[in-house]
Amino acid sequence: MSRHLVRGELLHFLSDPGAGASAAYEHHGDGALLLENGRILRCGPWAELRAAAPEAPCTDHSGCLILPGLIDCHIHYPQTDVIASPGHGLLDWLERYTFPAERRFADPAHAAQAAEFFCDELLRNGTTTALVFGSVHAESVDAFFGVARRRRLRMVAGKVLMDRNCPDYLQDTAQSAYDDSKRLLAAWQGVERLGYALTPRFAITSSEAQLEAVAALAREYPDVCVHSHLAENAAEVDWVRRLFPWSRSYLDVYEHYGLLRPRAVYAHCIHLDQTDRARMAASGAMAAFSPTSNLFLGSGLFDLGSALGAGMRVGIATDVGGGSSFSMLRTLAAAYAVAHLKGYVLSALRAFYLATLSGAMGLGLDHVIGNFLPGKEADFIVLDPAATPLLARRMASAASLEEKLFLWLTLGDDRAIRATYILGEAQWIRPS
């Protein structure tokens, strides 16, 4: 594919802006991306890029904001069909809705159909990369990767490992967990834009023998992602204490099995102490902050200020189907509110940094996605300031970039995503 230009207001992050450090991001009121073969050649002011490529065709999104694609750091594709199912806390919700829904993913046709819908939903919400739970069935992961590959998406996923404390029909074993993970890793890790994640569901549903098997895989594959849940719910934390009486904390169980390391992603991380936070920060593991899920399931309030203060890496996650929206904008709004309740005011700039570059760094993918540096893959979104009458009216009085970002974050949803580009090509365009 030859060179082309995409014009519009443009923002991307180079590092954590904290409360607003301007060296941490690049912003061009009238900016452009120069693309070639699905990658970023240059990003800068429109006039400069037009002069550098006078012949290149241009897609004009003037009036809209171009941002790197959003990165959902924790989501379950088999739970698409149980989103918005009311329950009495995590463990009840798992038993009543989630496990029966996941059972259906033994059927590859069902899995493939669900994966198609799921990827459509990600794209219409501006999510271009996600870290994805499959079900316990290896077929569910083959189906998901097959769909993601055909659509040329950068996705990370894994087969769920669970051999106890769940229905018989969803149990694997320590040995099959090892064998299936290894087979899937060989088939998919590094194939085009796909990556594999070792995915023990959580400490409750893996025997010590199975965690040993995961530990062995983690040693054999030091560069792959690890993906699980951690310290989400008080009853869950109690149960883990009883199952692993030798452990200092819930986090300590994963650390004991060598699962605390760069590219390890733990959803929730609500009930941590300062030692846990320091251990996570030192390890390079990432917390996937899942505020709509935490509110919906009544799990608790993630302490974003303490996590960032301790130096932990944090990404943003919808956690569908515990989460109540596929929209990362809705999720950022909830993140802002939850952080506020815990005494921390999340700036809009930092919120979008967490939803883009920080997530890419936690997944070990910041060499290819997360911002618009030259050579990166051209996955980006176009935000519409007039997506709804209210947004349009309120935007008219927004003077600064930070103010506009805050309006998209607070009032936006899938309607604010004008377009989603994958490798430089529009894969979602909102019908006007």
Q: Can you give the binding site for ligand GUN, defined by CB under 6 A? A: 76, 90, 94, 98, 201-202, 229, 232, 293, 319, 322
Residue with smaller CB distance to Zn ion, 130 or 349: 130
Residue 97: contacted member of Zn ion, ligand GUN, none (CB under 5 to 8 Å, by partner type): none
Rounded to an integer, what distance in angstroms lies between the CA atom of residue 389 and that of residue 401?
20
Per-residue CA distances from 327 to 46, 62, 270, 277, 305 (Å): 30, 23, 21, 28, 23
> Residue 310 CB, nearest distance to ligand GUN (Å)?
23
**Shorter beta-carbon distance to ligand GUN: residue 16 or 276:** 276
Shortest Å distance, C-beta 391 to ligand GUN:
30
Which of these ranges, 205-213, 312-320, 359-367, 403-411, lies near Zn ion under the rule CB under 5 A? 312-320
Q: Which among 276, 271, 261 has a CA at the least distance from the CA of 300? A: 271
Q: Find the shortest distance in angstroms from Cβ 43 to ligand GUN.
A: 36
- Contact segment (CB under 5 A) with Zn ion among 29-37, 141-149, 317-325, 388-396 equals 317-325
CB of 39 to Zn ion, least distance (A): 32
Which is closer to ligand GUN, CB of 76 or CB of 313?
A: 76
Q: Among ligand GUN, Zn ion, none, what does residue 360 contact (CB within 5–8 Å per kind)?
A: none
Closest alpha carbon to 331 in 297, 355, 307, 305: 355
Q: Which does 291 bind (CB under 5 to 8 A by kind): Zn ion, ligand GUN, none?
A: none
Write out the chain in H/E/C secondary structure.
CCCEEEEEEEEEECCCCCCCCHHHEEEEEEEEEEEECCEEEEEEEHHHHHHHCCCCCEEEEEEEEEEECEEEEEEEHHHHHHCCCCCCHHHHHHHHHHHHHHHHHHCHHHHHHHHHHHHHHHHHCCEEEEEEECCCCHHHHHHHHHHHHHCCCCEEEECEECCCCCCHHHCCCHHHHHHHHHHHHHHHCCCCCEEEEEEECCHHHCCHHHHHHHHHHHHHCCCCEEEEEECCCHHHHHHHHHHCCCCCCHHHHHHHCCCCCCCEEEEECCCCCHHHHHHHHHHCCEEEECHHHHHHCCCCCCCHHHHHHCCCEEEECCCCCCCCCCCHHHHHHHHHHHHHHCCCCCCHHHHHHHHHHHHHHHCCCCCCCCCCCCCCECCEEEECCCCCHHHHHHHCCCCCHHHHHHHHHHHCCHHHEEEEEECCEEEEECCC
Find which of ligand GUN, Zn ion, none residue 8 binds, CB within 5 to 8 Å per kind: none
Q: Which of the choices ligand GUN, Zn ion, none does residue 98 contact, using the CB cut-off of 5 to 8 A by kind?
A: ligand GUN
Q: Which does 202 bind (CB under 5 to 8 A by kind): Zn ion, ligand GUN, none?
A: ligand GUN
Binding partner of residue 283 among Zn ion, ligand GUN, none, CB cut-off 5 to 8 Å per kind: none
**CB closest to ligand GUN, residue no:** 322
Distance CA 419, CA 380 (A): 8
Q: What are phi and psi of 78, to 5 degrees?
A: -70, -5
Nearer CB in complex with ligand GUN: 327/420: 327
- Cβ proximity to ligand GUN: between 98 and 371 the closer is 98
Amino acid at 54: P
**Of Zn ion, ligand GUN, none, which one sits near residue 288, judging by CB under 5 to 8 A according to partner kind?**
none
Q: In angstroms, what is the minimal distance from the CB of 98 to ligand GUN?
A: 5
Report residue 11 as tokens. 């923002």
Distance CA 77, CA 122 (A): 10
- Least distance in Å: CB of 229 to ligand GUN? 4
Taking the complex as a whole, the smallest distance from the CB of residue 290 to ligand GUN amounts, in Å, to: 7
Decide: is 172 part of the binding site for Zn ion (CB under 5 A): no
Question: Binding partner of residue 232 among Zn ion, ligand GUN, none, CB under 5 to 8 Å per kind?
Answer: ligand GUN
Q: With CB under 5 A as the contact rule, which of the stretches 6-14, 106-114, 193-201, 319-327 interacts with Zn ion?
A: 319-327
Between 118 and 202, CB nearer to ligand GUN: 202
Q: How far is the CB of 319 from ligand GUN (least distance, A)?
A: 5
Among 319, 379, 413, 414, binds Zn ion (CB under 5 A): 319
Least separation, in Å, of the C-beta of 117 and Zn ion? 19
Segment lying near Zn ion (by CB under 5 A), choices 37-45, 318-326, 337-345, 363-371? 318-326
Q: How far is the CB of 363 from ligand GUN (least distance, A)?
A: 19
Residues that bind Zn ion (CB under 5 A): 267, 319
